[in-house]
Amino acid sequence: MIERYMKPGIRVIWRKPYDAPLSTTGDMVPSRSPANAMTYDGLDGELINAQFMQINVSTTGLTMRQPIAHSWLDYMPGGTAFMPAVGQDILTGWMSGCPLARWTSSTGQILVGHIGTIDTDPVANARVKSKFLAGMDANTTLFDPYAEWSTPEIMTLQGKFRTTEVNPHVMGLIAASGEVFAILIFNIKPKQGGAWTEWCIGGIKRVNAMSAGQVKLKLG
């Protein structure tokens, strides 16, 4: 459901949950972090969305200060954090090449997981991928949100802000519908100092997930 809110120029107040502790085993572990409140905070005045010059933002279902309900899936470096996908919108990040997976457990429960690779640790990456492959089923699908956003695309959107103190990040979204998305979001330095809790959506892209055969090729 929340994919309809993740439009370019939408501002939110939010604090990203902390990453889970480093895993040295590569194991698959239930996600622990609760989602932090995310609140709609109007439209950005610099990253202008032409759509909202033609129609009111309320057509998306948003009203000022509205909570944007979601669940949070941990990033656990060196391991796979997972959680049930039970009619809920699930966000996770930051993404820098980690695969996200969706599969069915031995009890028939649909699960989603963040395979926590580490950019600078190929040994840990091999371990976490191997542990995931050993437990995956024939219906497993996989997607890489980070791969959907090129550096030129990000730089073009970042250039619309007057301030240079805007940090881009990519998140993965597993929607309640089962569709998967890659979200670009910018963290904006607060004008009055303090915590960096001001964010602007840069865009959202629907992703075509890989099949189980493609998963084995990518992780093997």
pLDDT in tens for each of the 220 residues of the chain? 899 999 999 999 999 999 999 999 999 999 999 999 999 999 888 888 777 777 778 778 889 999 999 999 999 999 999 999 988 999 999 999 999 999 988 888 899 999 999 989 999 999 999 999 888 787 889 999 999 999 999 999 999 998 778 999 999 999 999 899 999 999 998 877 777 899 999 999 999 988 777 777 777 6
Domain that holds residue 107: 2-219
Order of all β-strands in the sheet with 198-207: 39-43, 10-13, 198-207, 180-188, 166-174, 90-92, 71-73
Q: Does pTM top 0.85 for this prediction?
A: yes
pLDDT at 196: 85
Q: How many structural domains is the chain composed of?
A: 1
Torsion angle, alpha carbons of 86, 219, 121, 168, to 10 = -50
